[in-house]
Amino acid sequence: MSFSQLQDELNLRKQASLYRTRRTLQTPQSPNIKVDGKDYLAFCSNDYLGLANHPDVIAAFQNAANLYGVGGGASHLVSGHSQAHHELELALAEFTGRDRALLFSTGYMANLGAVTALLDKQDGVFEDRVNHASLLDAGLLSGARFQRYLHNDATNLQTRLQRSETRRKLVITDGVFSMDGDIAPLSELADVSCAADAWMMVDDAHGLGCIGKEGRGSVDHFGLGQDDVQILMGTLGKAFGTAGAFIAGSDVLIETLIQHARSYIYTTSMPPAVAAATLRSLQLVREEEWRREKLRALIAQFRTGCESLGLALMDSQTPIQPVMVGSSETAMQMSAALEAKGIFITAIRPPTVPKNEARLRVTLSASHTEADVDRLLVALSEVKI
């Protein structure tokens, strides 16, 4: 073990245009941000509905901090499960049409906790090959026989399920794919899973708030209840604009997670004020349909603009609108050129996306204006390589 070895590896990563660095944000999350002292128009946050800096959500957070203090102080099973957490769980269960919901501190932890609580080495896990890293990690950590099926391919999944003879089978997919923006064919996947006596888990980090009635997400978009999709996972740090995550499903599922999900049991509860703020943002998500309408208009404007510029887009009707570039080096160059024009879009490179599929992951928010999108289109036309 030596530092020079590590340094050599870091250098190689730099040469391959794969080195990652952090930038320092000096404003709230919004389309207009200040980063390292400079102002930018940004198109890469997951604050799709513009709620991360909403005055009502901030006020709910502040009021709850006065009531509950800052820290959760203990895990949920010791003395950290506050009234604010409990109310949010009830509201999320009602919202998603499931028996119950269980809060986790992050989406990464929710996925790890749920999958490892349900599966072990006697079982099989079947994941879309471009699932979010936290789902892939969860499947691997569970020790279950791990298979990746072709992207959105229910037939390929079916073949794999038919060949498998494990005790339990769990099929896992993103509802809306985080780096591509496309929606998984959940009805077909659910049919195939049901026929093989497998359960299905949907991670709807990017669907909730953005699609479905009142923002109920991809499962609602396809009309699937908890008998079709037994495990529904949602994150609160994206369209909800706060932080944390939840799993929703049957009473028996939630009780099982409370007993066995290690990332639920062995960690401090999220700050109660975050739960209270989320309760307010959930109301806004449901009631303010104009945010979704605005998003749809901006998405259409952006796609039409890109088509006329000859920019390669993906088949996405969601706020995730990646501009495909290919090489990591080109993606970095385009990102830097946009930055010089005052536009902030981080280049997404492997291993977050497959090799040679580097991209500018453009995300739109209900807080963007038509003029913002026009400015982005002009800038993209100028930096196009």
Ligand X SMILES: *Cc1c(COP(=O)(O)O)cnc(C)c1O
Write out the catalytic residue numbers.
178, 206, 238
Closer residue to ligand X, CB minimum distance, 134 or 230: 134
Least separation in angstroms between residue 135's CB and ligand X is 7
Residue 182 falls in which region: left (phi positive, over 0), alpha (psi -120 to 50) or beta: beta
CB atoms near residue 258 (< 10 Å): 15
Is the Cβ–Cβ distance between 204 and 162 less than 8 Å? Answer: no
Binding positions for ligand X, 55-114, rule CB under 6 A:
106-108, 111
Closer residue to ligand X, CB minimum distance, 40 or 108: 108
- Give the max Cα distance, the chain: 58
Residue with the closest Cβ to ligand X?
Answer: 107
Closer residue to ligand X, CB minimum distance, 245 or 253: 245
Binding positions for ligand X, 115-174, rule CB under 6 A:
132, 134, 174
Using CA atoms, how far apart are residues 333 and 345, in angstroms rounded to an integer? 11
Closer residue to ligand X, CB minimum distance, 197 or 315: 315
Only one residue has tokens 């090959």, namely 129
Least separation in angstroms between residue 107's CB and ligand X is 2
DSSP-derived secondary structure for 81-116: --HHHHHHHHHHHHHHTSSEEEEES-HHHHHHHHHH
Using CA atoms, how far apart are residues 153 and 184, in angstroms rounded to an integer? 9
Least separation in angstroms between residue 156's CB and ligand X is 21
Binding positions for ligand X, 214-273, rule CB under 6 A:
235, 237, 245
Binding positions for ligand X, 164-203, rule CB under 6 A:
174, 178, 203
Closer residue to ligand X, CB minimum distance, 82 or 111: 111
Binding positions for ligand X, 347-366, rule CB under 6 A:
none
CB atoms near residue 192 (< 10 Å): 24
Size of the site for ligand X (CB under 6 A): 14
Least separation in angstroms between residue 279's CB and ligand X is 17
| 278 binds ligand X, rule: CB under 6 A | no
Using CA atoms, how far apart are residues 187 and 210, in angstroms rounded to an integer? 19
Least separation in angstroms between residue 142's CB and ligand X is 16
Closest to 221 in 3D by CA, of 162, 176, 251, 154: 176
Alpha-carbon torsion (280, 345, 208, 204), positive or negative: negative
Question: Site residues (CB under 6 A) for ligand X?
Answer: 106-108, 111, 132, 134, 174, 178, 203, 205-206, 235, 237, 245
